[in-house]
Amino acid sequence: MSTKKIILKITGMTCSSCAINNEKALAKAKGIVSANVNFASKKALVEYDADVLSEEQVKKIIIDNGYDIDHGTHSMEHAGHDMKHDHDGGHEHRSEDIKKNWKAFLWSAIFTLPLALEMVYKFRLGMKFLDIDLVMYAHVVLATIVVFYFGWRFHKMAWKQAKKFQANMDTLVSMGTLVAYFFSLWLVAEKFLYDIEKEGYFEAAAIIITLILLGKYFEAKSTGQAGEAMKKLMELGAKKARVLIDGKEREIEISEIQVSDIILVKPSEKIPLDGEVIEGQSNVDESMLTGESMPVEKKVGSKVFGATLNEDGILKIKVTEVGEGTVLAQIIRTVEEAQGSKAPIQKLADRISGIFVPIVIGIALVTFLGWYFVSEDISIAIMNAVAVLVIACPCALGLATPTAIMVGTGKGAKNSILFKSGESFERAKEISMVVFDKTGTLTKGAPVVKRIISNPAFNFPQDKIAKLAASVAKNSEHPISQAVNAYAKDKNIETVDFADFKELPGRGVTAVCATHQKVVMMGNKKLLEENRLDTKWADEMLNDENLEIGTRLFVVHGGKDVVGAIIVADEARTESKGVVERLKAIGLKVAMISGDNKQTAQAMAKELGIEKVMAEVLPSEKAYEIEKLQSQGEKIVFVGDGINDAPSLVQADLGIAMGSATDIAKEAGQIILMQNNLEKVVEAIKLSKLTFRTIQQNLFWAFIYNIIAIPLAFSGILSPAIAAAAMSFSSVSVVANSLRIYRK
């Protein structure tokens, strides 16, 4: 199966029921792997089998379902090349949408105003405004224009839904306004035919349409603000680049650049795409991607990233990534996918929204029948039923979760925190403990050799111990091995060739000297025990409190003699202690997990104020330790950076990958920190909790609104016009509450 992802920008969706209907339509289609439709952003994130469906066929499913696809739609494979188009097109579309809704409201209000004034006039004075039939006919004309021209969008979509035996917000608005309009028209006909004078409700139908259009305007404006972070991300990218062709400069569009092209970047210019410096030297401001304020020195061989700013030198860069391969495109994709995803709590809202409209229609029918039999006045019965239909539109319910997720992910991206899905926010709600990987996470990840100790039983010189250790470790990429190699290089100690190299995770390294054919090992006590070597002297070294704090590595010569020990220590990050204190201050427990010996691990934990320590843990056992904590009732955030941290990141309730993390670790984590700064862990947790709390608030008020409003409309307390205003206000209030996340 060859799967692809596409983001569809859907037009014509007016409520959460529309999103649900589109999801259902997509899910039923053969070849669709997954589909998430976000009502707030008006986007669908669709994963499909390219062997079964084409991109056009996926779009056709939405079109056949009664909706349209905006030109800003793009495949994830072309995210980078299409960034400018997506930004310009998407932003223009949002602006046009806002203008369109404002214009529709304004003109609708102009035609509705005479109706509303006449209604108020009669209400205040108890008399008619100009007692002539022309007024009545003017009502018919004005109401017809408002209901059928400005309100056509609602009737059109309601009809499309009806043909598929479905219903949504448009169904309620359309039914409510048409009932009020045609009933009023019947009353006009009665007056014309039988001279029976009764109150009409043209103004109610017109006011409903006008107020809902006003709500749509505010909704479009607010959701546009919610997507502001995505807009700013897209604006980061350069629009054009200076390419060297046959030694001559030529300025071309970013979309025309290919891998291996040579681009020239002058001082104060943005670097267009990811690449490698082949000529020149400069300082580059990478803060727009990483948040780090200090510029990074770049020279021949250095990697550079699109959207970063070249400060002072001229750089020739060979392009290595275009399209979705660029770092910026990946960040945008991550944010877009997160904004298109759903938190598990939204499933409840979706289920309710899916059955809500038919239930409301049923309540409206009961309202009509009840009031008709009680009052024997069909006008009262109809208007109360209309009020029920209008006030119960589930817009607020549909906006509650996606708008909060849009704002939360947007704020995160702005602060160099990438949430990969809406689920991350919900996972954070019950977090009780943060578990840090030690090396490279709590520490700088660059250990150094503090001391070399010779075993008196063999009396090997320190340089010889260092030579043996560096020779056996030079093929290892482990930070500790790198520290030993760096020490040997610094001391001008020459290494010798070794064969049959083996790296034993969580224990050490072994190899065979090519000259003397003797086995040499470097590792911890576990390595000694596995090879059934004498650990008496090793135990003395491990328990000697007078020695430097750090990891004890033992050097074995000839496969049996423990000839020396190397103490390697890693320094804590400057911010580590403060971060631990801040996490404790917000009520979270803090723990550390490490492969180091207990003495070293506990010393580091004591320095940082961490009470819970899991030491001498093999990489393969880390996830098991997390699972044990979970079995004790803890909800775990795991923070790590290495390949060996990937299982723990997956096992934890919430995995956070550091900025320096491997690709595998970033793939495993639910949150990625673009900065290699632990302060972002606290920010990520706080933002997660804030966003989920906002989702809960939104859902609460959306539910409460309908719980209170529907009975009021049922009881006849609310007029259709007031119901329309209240319905519009509920949607806007939910979006406004979500936008508060930006300010906190």
pLDDT tens per residue across span 513-531: 888 889 999 999 999 999 9
pLDDT tens per residue across span 194-239: 666 666 678 878 888 887 787 777 766 766 655 555 566 666 677 8
Q: Positive or negative CA dihedral for 372, 373, 376, 380?
A: negative
Among residues 495, 526, 525, the alpha carbon closest in space to that of 511 is found at 495
**Torsion, Cα of 40, 42, 47, 52 (10° steps):** 150
Largest CA distance in the chain: 122
pLDDT of residue 510: 94
Q: How many CB atoms lie within 10 A of CB 99?
A: 12
316: left (phi over 0), alpha (psi -120 to 50) or beta: beta
Q: Rounded to an integer, what distance in angstroms lies between the CA atom of residue 79 and that of residue 86? A: 9
Q: Rounded to an integer, what distance in angstroms lies between the CA atom of residue 255 and that of residue 330? A: 16
Residue ranges, the chain, pLDDT below 50: 76-89, 123-132
pLDDT of residue 88: 47
pLDDT of residue 353: 63
pLDDT of residue 452: 94
Contacts of 152 (CB under 8 A, 6+ apart): none
pLDDT of residue 77: 46
Contacts of 492 (CB under 8 A, 6+ apart): none
Q: Rounded to an integer, what distance in angstroms lies between the CA atom of residue 484 and that of residue 488? A: 6
Q: Which of 97, 274, 350, 437 is catalytic?
A: 437
Cα atoms in the Cβ-side hemisphere of radius 13 Å centred on 413: 30
pLDDT of residue 585: 94
Q: Rounded to an integer, what distance in angstroms lies between the CA atom of residue 207 and that of residue 209? A: 5
pLDDT of residue 227: 56
Active site residue 641: no
